[in-house]
Every structure is written in structure tokens, then in C-alpha cells.
């Protein structure tokens, strides 16, 4: 299964940037994109592991509950 990189805009719109077969390649590409964007960028770069782009988008749109940390 491939790793997909998405840009999530403040209005929650998703843009698929790339897909990778290897985790290391996806991780380094995500880090590079985040560095290029810098602190002034308002979009979020996310990496997701899924069989297809449609599944990846569904996972990114899924509302998840916040799990408490040990500090809470």
C-alpha cells in the first residue's frame, strides 16, 4: 500500500501532492514540504497510509476524538 501526501487547507479542502511506495521517501518529502512552507504557511501537510487515494481522503476527513495524554 502506498503512502499519500496531502495538503489540508484551512477550509479543510484536500489536495493530493504525491504518493510513495516507501515510508522513508514519503517522510522525507513531507518534511521538505513542511520546511518549504515555513511558519507562515497556513496549510497542513499530512502523510497517510492507504490502498487508494479515496480511502486516504476518507481517513483524513474522519473526525477523531482527542485521546487524553498523561499530562491531562
In a domain, 64, yes or no: no
The verdict on residue 61 lying in a domain is no
Q: What is the Cα–Cα distance from 5 to 47, expressed in whole angstroms?
A: 5
Domain membership flag for residue 34: yes
Q: What is the pLDDT of residue 53?
A: 92
Banded pLDDT at 69 (limits 50, 70, 90): confident
- The residue among 14, 19, 12, 6 whose CA lies nearest residue 52 is 19
How does pLDDT run across 13-59, given as a tens digit for each residue? 999 999 999 999 999 999 999 998 877 778 899 999 999 999 999 99
4 vs 32, 39, 59, CA distance in Å?
A: 15, 22, 11
For the chain, the domain total comes to: 1
pTM of the model: 0.80
Average pLDDT rounded to a whole number, residues 61-67: 81
pLDDT score, position 46: 93
Number of Cβ within 10 Å of residue 29's Cβ equals 17
Domain membership of residue 9 (yes or no) is yes
Amino acid at each position: 500500500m502506498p503512502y499519500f501526501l496531502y495538503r489540508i487547507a484551512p477550509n479543510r479542502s484536500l489536495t493530493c501532492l504525491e504518493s510513495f511506495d516507501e515510508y522513508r521517501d514519503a517522510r522525507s518529502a513531507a518534511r521538505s514540504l513542511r520546511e518549504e512552507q515555513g511558519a507562515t504557511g497556513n496549510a497542513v501537510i499530512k502523510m497517510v497510509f492507504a490502498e487508494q487515494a479515496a480511502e486516504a481522503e476518507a481517513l483524513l476527513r474522519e473526525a477523531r476524538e482527542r485521546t487524553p495524554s498523561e499530562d491531562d
